[in-house]
């Protein structure tokens, strides 16, 4: 499962040659190779405690699965709109897998929008099915 750390990310971690950046690159490469399903990165915290709850709810949707905004929101006693706003503001697409949260008309703010969301979901389904 993606680890969400409290506290800020220090300046050394932000450097392109920093350990945190190298770790993120390695984990993303493994994800795209079908070798990693969850991330263990020192992410900056959400700006509010409620944001942390929303982020954790998004992370709880499993690799290769999808859940509607309403389904995920109900698990934490929130509204689909609040969850949608958290997805829209998600600074860590893929790592915080908002592409797994689906809605009626379909939106996705990362990459090329819906084609990116669909590609990520198909990628995860492919590797989920290849497991057995």
Query: Confidence band (pLDDT; 50, 70, 90) for 16?
Result: low
Domain ranges of the chain: 11-129
Q: Is the dihedral of CA 66, 61, 6, 43 positive or negative?
A: negative
Report the chain's mean pLDDT, rounded to a whole number.
Answer: 84
Burial class (CB in 10 A: 0-12, 13-18, 19+), 43: buried
Query: Confidence band (pLDDT; 50, 70, 90) for 42?
Result: confident
Q: Which of 54, 94, 98, 121 is catalytic?
A: 98
CB 97 within 8 A of CB 59: yes
Query: What is the predicted pLDDT for the residue at 6?
Result: 45
CB 1 within 8 A of CB 34: no
Mean of pLDDT values over 22-31: 94
Determine the topology of domain 11-129 in CATH.
Arc Repressor Mutant, subunit A (1.10.10)
Q: Does residue 87 have an active-site annotation?
A: no
Query: Confidence band (pLDDT; 50, 70, 90) for 123?
Result: very high
């Amino acid at each position: 499962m993606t680890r969400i750390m409290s506290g800020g990310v220090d300046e050394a971690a932000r450097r392109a040659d920093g350990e945190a950046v190298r770790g993120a690159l390695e984990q993303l490469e493994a994800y795209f190779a079908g070798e990693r399903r969850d991330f263990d990165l020192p992410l900056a915290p959400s700006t509010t405690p409620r944001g942390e709850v929303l982020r954790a709810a998004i992370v709880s949707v499993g690799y290769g699965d999808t859940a509607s905004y309403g389904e995920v929101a109900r698990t934490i006693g929130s509204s689909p709109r609040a969850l949608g706003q958290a997805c829209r503001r998600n600074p860590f697409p893929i790592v915080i897998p908002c592409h797994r949260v689906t809605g009626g008309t379909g939106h996705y703010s990362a990459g090329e929008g819906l084609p990116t969301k669909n590609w990520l979901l198909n990628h995860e389904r492919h590797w989920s099915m290849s497991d057995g």
